[in-house]
């Protein structure tokens, strides 16, 4: 006993000291582990009596996993159960808003490139990432996309210059994230705002709140940054502000922002039905071994109306004097559109108005003036015969002045005679001056339409103008040739029947003039009109052979030339003209049948040619509306201009080649 007694107090003392030391250690560890972690909620929605949202916890460089079993919620002081699901099922987007003003410098942009590369490597693959850069102006460089290489390439091309339009950039980034369930912004700036024109601090903060955009602000070179502005943006979006005075701190801030996206979780609260008005919502739980607590408010909407025994009468709408009238509101919205659109629409309206006046001008002429005009043209085809419109119609006088200007321009040109021949073959009531007015109107209309469809910067506008002018010059001539050719083909298709009718008339004892008069009365258009004109020429003294020869030139019909040749030979050497015309008609029918057979056999090749010609043009117009930035490289880069020129030349060669392949002469 004497030996054990001294050790008893010693052992007790050691036990006390050990217990005290363990208590201090455990207490310290518990304190470190129990430090609350910052958290926020966003994208909250209430539907089918379920309150849903996205919970975001910020563990800095650490990815924290929310414990679903620890989640507790309180709505208006009452506890409700909480369930979770993976956040990967949520459509998420993050917009990088990068300051590229001159104060950033080359070293600052190098820091941005490295930091963005680290963020893109750590961010979840399902998160769409976009880019907004701002200096003197703000613009979307890359829309939210999962193509990380495209974002990094755009960041690598950023250059530091100009002033700072911070507010414009924040408002633009917030609005561009519409359509996503979870929206966040990483804002990197080293200064205040000096150049914003479309937004101020209040409107930019309101945009962050309106679209529910979580804002993570990084104050680069915090000694120069306006920390209060960045703090306001972060508080409005439920985010945070990280001060980064050097490149390593900026990179660490971006990596921490990526870790935040990895720590998100979707939650669903099932409160009691019938909640209304704005109520407080609290969400608590554990993330890893650290607690968190989030308190916010949510508007559950207006209370449901109580059933009434008397039918409710709808109150008449009360007009708000301060609210703009709907038409005025639309007018105000229209006035804010691109000025180039108004110019294009105005030019189009002017062109269409002049076109209408030019088209109405021939209908305002009297019958007498038309007969006199026809006689003057017959006597001297190269003479331009002016006509006097009705003095009481201002539209006629205006169109007459335009046509007189066109007559003076077209007079003496080598192409005028060919153009008038095509107009006559197409049976269009147009003079040379009227045709000139139509071409000018076509240039205005196509230029306005092209500028309206291809609106953009100066290079795009110049390209649209050149394209419109080219189409305006080519399109009327193409349409005129098409109409003339179509009428000529229709005449040739009627010619065998016309010759059969003439031969039948000759067999019954009619003269050739009497047979042609029967054709002018009984045949269909355009044969009736053309033979009536030839017969009218013979009645004022022209030879029948010459009249028919002019008819063949006027219609451009090779079959009619052969028919005239047969008639002249018969008149010189004699013979049975009726039998000669029957033989000619049978030959023409066989040739027409063979042409149709060849046309049917070549239909597949012609259809393929049409599709191959229209395909690049159609894809170009479609891509202009869906991915304009991709197409603009064709006229904003030297290589693109070369490719565009080679493509147009190849298309022209292909059109000529395919046309020759399917054009089979009979």
Alpha-carbon Rg for the chain in angstroms: 42
Structure confidence at residue 14 (pLDDT): 37
Residues 427 and 488 in one domain: no
Residues 199 and 111 in one domain: yes
Residues 217 and 113 in one domain: yes
Specify if 202 maps to a domain.
yes
Strand partners, 286: 291
Distance of alpha carbon 318 from the chain centroid: 39
Identify the CA nearest to 517 among candidates 539, 546, 497.
539
Specify if 473 maps to a domain.
no
Identify the CA nearest to 101 among candidates 196, 208, 229.
196
Structure confidence at residue 317 (pLDDT): 46
Residues 229 and 110 in one domain: yes
Structure confidence at residue 646 (pLDDT): 92
Residues 614 and 517 in one domain: no
The secondary element (H helix, E strand) that includes residue 216 is strand 213-220
Structure confidence at residue 334 (pLDDT): 42
Matching residue, tokens 């987007």:
93
Contact criterion met (CB below 8 Å) for 172 and 207: no
Q: Are strands 72-75 and 78-80 parallel, antiparallel or unpaired?
A: antiparallel
Distance of alpha carbon 492 from the chain centroid: 46
Specify if 291 maps to a domain.
no
Residues 541 and 648 in one domain: no
| Domain assignment of residue 633, given as a range | 604-662
- The CA angle 527-529-531, to the nearest 5 degrees, is 65
530 vs 543: CA distance, rounded Å = 16
Residues 489 and 581 in one domain: yes
CATH label of the domain that carries residue 506: 1.20.81
Could you check whether the bond before residue 495 is cis, i.e. omega within 30 degrees of 0?
A: no
What is the number of domains present in the chain?
4
Specify if 230 maps to a domain.
yes
Identify the CA nearest to 428 among candidates 389, 482, 386, 380.
482
Residues 120 and 238 in one domain: yes
Specify if 557 maps to a domain.
yes
Residues 96 and 229 in one domain: yes
pTM greater than the 0.75 cutoff? no
Residues 431 and 530 in one domain: no
Strand partners, 298: 279
Q: Using the 3D structure, point to which of 228, 243, 258 is the last residue of a domain.
A: 243
425 vs 487: CA distance, rounded Å = 7
Structure tokens at 588: 């023409």
Identify the CA nearest to 182 among candidates 139, 119, 127, 233.
127
Specify if 558 maps to a domain.
yes
Specify if 59 maps to a domain.
no
Residues 450 and 491 in one domain: no
Structure tokens at 568: 């002249």
Q: Using the 3D structure, point to which of 531, 558, 585 is the last residue of a domain.
A: 585
Structure confidence at residue 326 (pLDDT): 44
Structure confidence at residue 132 (pLDDT): 92
298 vs 14: CA distance, rounded Å = 57
Structure tokens at 170: 């924040």
Structure confidence at residue 139 (pLDDT): 86
Q: Using the 3D structure, point to which of 178, 212, 243 is the last residue of a domain.
A: 243
**pLDDT by 10-residue block (mean), the chain, 666 residues:** 39 39 37 68 80 80 78 85 80 88 80 87 88 88 90 89 85 86 84 80 86 83 64 79 77 80 83 81 84 84 55 44 42 44 61 59 53 60 48 54 74 80 85 84 87 73 83 88 90 88 86 85 86 87 84 86 86 82 88 86 85 89 83 83 89 86 71
Structure confidence at residue 130 (pLDDT): 93
The secondary element (H helix, E strand) that includes residue 297 is strand 290-299
Sign of the dihedral through C-alpha 529, 535, 538, 539: negative
CATH label of the domain that carries residue 189: 3.40.50.410
DSSP letter (8 states) at residue 66: B
Residues 237 and 148 in one domain: yes
The secondary element (H helix, E strand) that includes residue 414 is helix 414-425
């Amino acid at each position: 006993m004497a030996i054990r007694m001294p050790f008893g107090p010693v052992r007790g003392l050691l036990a006390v000291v050990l217990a005290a030391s363990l208590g201090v250690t455990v207490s310290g560890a518990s304190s470190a582990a129990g430090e609350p972690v910052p958290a926020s909620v966003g994208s909250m929605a209430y539907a089918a009596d379920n309150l849903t949202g996205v919970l975001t916890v910020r563990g800095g460089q650490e990815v924290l996993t929310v414990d679903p079993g620890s989640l507790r919620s309180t709505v208006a002081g009452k506890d409700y159960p909480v369930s979770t699901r993976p956040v990967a099922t949520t459509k998420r987007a993050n917009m990088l808003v990068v300051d590229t003003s001159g104060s950033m410098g080359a070293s600052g942009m190098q820091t941005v490139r490295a930091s963005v590369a680290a963020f893109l490597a750590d961010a979840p693959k399902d998160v769409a990432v976009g880019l907004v850069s701002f200096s003197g102006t703000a613009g979307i460089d890359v829309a939210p996309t999962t193509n990380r290489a495209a974002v990094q390439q755009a960041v690598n091309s950023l250059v530091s210059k100009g002033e700072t339009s911070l507010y414009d950039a924040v408002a633009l980034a917030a609005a561009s994230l519409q359509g996503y369930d979870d929206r966040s912004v990483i804002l990197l700036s080293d200064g205040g705002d000096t150049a914003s024109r479309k937004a101020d601090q209040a409107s930019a903060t309101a945009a962050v709140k309106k679209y529910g955009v979580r804002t993570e602000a990084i104050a680069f070179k915090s000694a120069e940054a306006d920390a209060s502005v960045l703090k306001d943006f972060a508080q409005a979006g439920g985010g945070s502000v990280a001060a980064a005075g050097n490149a390593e701190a900026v990179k660490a801030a971006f990596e921490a922002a990526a870790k935040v996206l990895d720590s998100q979780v979707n939650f669903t609260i099932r409160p009691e039905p019938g909640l209304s008005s704005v109520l407080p919502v609290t969400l608590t739980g554990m993330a890893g071994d650290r607690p968190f607590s989030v308190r916010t408010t949510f508007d559950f909407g207006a209370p449901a109306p109580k059933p009434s025994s008397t039918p409710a009468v709808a109150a008449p709408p009360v007009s708000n004097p301060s609210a703009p009238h709907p038409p005025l509101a639309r007018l105000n919205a229209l006035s804010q559109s691109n000025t180039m659109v108004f110019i294009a629409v105005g030019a189009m309206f002017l062109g269409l108005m002049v076109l209408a006046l030019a088209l109405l001008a021939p209908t305002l002429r009297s019958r007498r003036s038309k007969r006199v005009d026809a006689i003057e043209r017959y006597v001297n085809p190269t003479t331009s015969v002016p006509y006097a419109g009705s003095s009481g119609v201002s539209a006629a006088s205006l169109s007459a002045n335009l046509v007189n200007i066109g007559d003076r321009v077209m007079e003496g040109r080598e192409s005028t005679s060919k153009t008038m021949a095509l107009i006559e073959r197409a049976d269009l009531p147009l003079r040379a001056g009227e045709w000139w007015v139509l071409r000018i109107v076509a240039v205005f209309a196509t230029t306005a339409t092209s500028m309206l469809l291809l609106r953009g910067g100066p290079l795009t506008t110049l390209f649209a103008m050149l394209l419109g002018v080219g189409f305006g010059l080519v399109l009327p001539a193409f349409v005129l040739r098409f109409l003339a050719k179509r009428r000529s083909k229709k005449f040739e298709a009627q010619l065998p029947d016309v010759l059969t009718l003439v031969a039948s008339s000759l067999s019954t004892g009619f003269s050739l003039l009497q047979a042609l008069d029967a054709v002018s009365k009984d045949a269909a258009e355009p044969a009736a009109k053309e033979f009536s004109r030839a017969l009218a020429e013979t009645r004022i003294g022209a030879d029948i052979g010459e009249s028919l020869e002019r008819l063949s030139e006027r219609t451009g019909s090779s079959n009619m030339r052969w028919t005239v040749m047969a008639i002249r030979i018969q008149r010189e050497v004699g013979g049975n003209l009726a039998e000669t015309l029957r033989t000619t008609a049978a030959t023409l029918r066989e040739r027409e049948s063979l042409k149709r057979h060849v046309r049917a056999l070549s239909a597949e090749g012609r259809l393929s040619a049409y599709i191959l010609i229209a395909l690049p043009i159609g894809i170009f117009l479609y891509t202009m509306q869906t991915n304009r930035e991709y197409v603009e490289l064709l006229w904003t880069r030297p290589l693109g201009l070369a490719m565009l020129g080679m493509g147009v030349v190849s298309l022209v060669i292909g059109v000529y080649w395919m046309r020759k392949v399917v054009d089979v002469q009979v």
